[in-house]
Amino acid sequence: MKAILIFDHPYTLAASENQPHFRSYSAAVAQRTINYLQANGDTVDVIDLHKDKFDPVMHATDLSNWRTRRSLNDQVDDYFNRLAAAERIIFVFPIWWEVMPAMTKGFIDKVFSKNRIPKNGPRVLFANQPRIDIFTIAGTPTFLYRLKYGNPVIKSLKRGTFQKVGVKNVHWHNFNAEDKSAAKRTADLTHIQKFLR
């Protein structure tokens, strides 16, 4: 299977090795996901947004191009073409203040653009109907995130974005790394494969 993983964390994927003052559980989740898929014979294309210096801001010229169905820039076109070739799309990012980081939001705004959907015909952005997996890392316990905050990331992504562009096979798993022991965080990483089957 051809998979593509979109990773959003300021430390980049390089922070997956648990080095003091340069470590990210998000990066560890992303790297474990990549390792598992590759070990099972899948190809994994990686978009590391901070490493790529992606600009998440929708500038006035970007919006004008969006409205007139023109290219925003070469990087956005490249990202879209790579997504369109994938059978599986995986997002990995932390949840900050109960929502996604700016890089992920900007990626969605610019790449998952409805102006790419043909004017006549089904409202489908990706012809091959990929599966989308969303792995989030949050301090808020998952049950509380659903109960108290109403699961805003998944509502906005699954219902508010992906379903609107014709992608219906969407799955979410949240990792609660905060306040857990190192042993429990490591154990959670070893179980990632059950969410990738």
Q: Give 150's DSSP letter.
A: -
What is the C-alpha to C-alpha distance for residues 81 and 78, in angstroms, rounded to an integer? 5
In angstroms, the CA 10 to CA 7 distance is: 10
pLDDT at 22: 78
Q: Which residues contact 28 (CB under 8 A, 6 or more apart)?
A: 16, 18, 185, 189
- The distance between the two most distant Cα atoms of the chain, rounded to a whole number of Å, is 54
Collect the ranges in the chain with pLDDT lower than 50.
Answer: none
Whole-number pLDDT of residue 179? 67
pLDDT score, position 135: 96
pLDDT on residue 115: 80
By the 8 A CB rule, do 48 and 12 touch? yes
Q: Name the 3-class secondary structure at 12.
A: coil
pLDDT of residue 176: 85
- Burial bucket for residue 32 (CB in 10 Å: 0-12, 13-18, 19+): buried
pLDDT at position 109? 94
State pLDDT tens for residues 104-148: 999 999 998 878 887 777 888 898 999 999 999 998 888 888 999
Please report where in the chains the tokens 């042993």 appear, as a residue: 183
Model pTM score? 0.93
pLDDT at 18: 74
Comparing CA positions, the residue from 1, 4, 7, 6 lying closest to residue 26 is: 7
pLDDT given at position 194: 86
What is the CATH number that goes with domain 2-195? Answer: 3.40.50.360
